Structure 1
Amino acid sequence: MTPATWRWILLGLGLTYLALASWALTAPASFAAALANFGPGDQHLVRDFGACSAAFGIGLVVAARKPSWRTPVLTVTTLWNGLHAINHIIDSGKSHPAAVGPIEAALLVAATFLLAFLARASTQRASTQRAGTKGDS
């Protein structure tokens, strides 16, 4: 991937996480009703999700400009997203409306695969550069 491609992908992912974070932090009841309606609400927990998503979003935005951040940020984001996906798979039958749970679980699994692909590509790029071959940053 070219440096510009990396920047756009990481910036897009980072802004997506930041948008979710902003929603969860500023309107936790609305966020819970639309995306996290799995039973009685806990606005504190929704804001905790927002804070966590903000951290990943900021990391991804920084990684868009600092190539040395790519692999670590993508790896940790992949791990968190994968664990988040497992939680959604377990609770997918408890969502209201019923279709939201399976859709969210599928989207989280797809996002985890995308993040894992990007983390691996970033790792391979870094290995190639350390080996002394020409590559982009």
Structure 2
Amino acid sequence: MTASPQLERRLGAARTGAARAGGADAWTWILTVFALGNLANGVWMLAHPTSWFHDLPAAVPDFGPLNEHFVRDIGSAFVVQGVALLWAAFAPTWRVPLVAPVALFAVLHALAHVYDTARGLVGPAHWMIDLPAVYVPALVMMLFLWLLARARRASGG
């Protein structure tokens, strides 16, 4: 898989003088947006698990009854991911090692949804319900990791 030269220039800015000097590059903004999404989801899960369970537009109750403790456990994981992505946003040399576990969680989370939908735990509508909040983020995080690792290798890091 090869990124276009323009995309690589924009997203490979981790190796530019702006990134080395501590200035904001494209990755700073991209990772900050994803960090804030994970933090918002995690804080919602920790603070109001019942509201998250019933109000998240992802048909979460289809997977089984509410377990507030479990929702908070997973909320903790989302907060950790948000912190990792925020750290990565402002620490270019740490981007690959911080984005890697976030990407791994996203892929494992997506595979759990694939398994549960394929085996019939939830209805086939979940292929589309889970697309924007589960499957796409997993693919995006893997793409980010690949681009960051490639930029790091290209810069000799």
Give the TM bin, normalised by the shorter chain.
0.7 to 0.9
Tell me the equivalent position of 1:62. 87
Q: Aligned runs of 1:1-137 on 2, under 5 Å?
A: 1=11, 2=13, 3=19, 4-33=25-54, 34=56, 35=58, 36-37=60-61, 38-92=63-117, 94-95=121-122, 99=125, 101-107=126-132, 108-130=134-156
C-alpha change, 1:82 and 1:104, in structure 2 (3 Å) is farther
CA distance in 1, matches of 2:110, 2:130: 6
- TM-score, structure 2 length as denominator? 0.74
Aligned residues: 129
Identity of paired residues, percent?
Answer: 27
Q: Deviations over 1:55-107 (max 9, x none)?
A: 010010011000122111211111111111111223345459x84x3334322
Q: Which amino acid aligns with 1:110?
A: V
CA distance in 2, matches of 1:77, 1:6: 15
CA distance in 2, matches of 1:121, 1:61: 17
CA distance in 1, matches of 2:48, 2:91: 31
Instruction: Specify the SS of the correspondent of 1:130.
Output: coil
Q: Once superposed, what is the RMSD of the aligned Cα atoms?
A: 1.9
Shift of 1:121: 0.8
> Could you tell me whether the CA contact under 8 Å between 1:39 and 1:94 is conserved in 2?
no
CA distance in 1, matches of 2:129, 2:102: 17
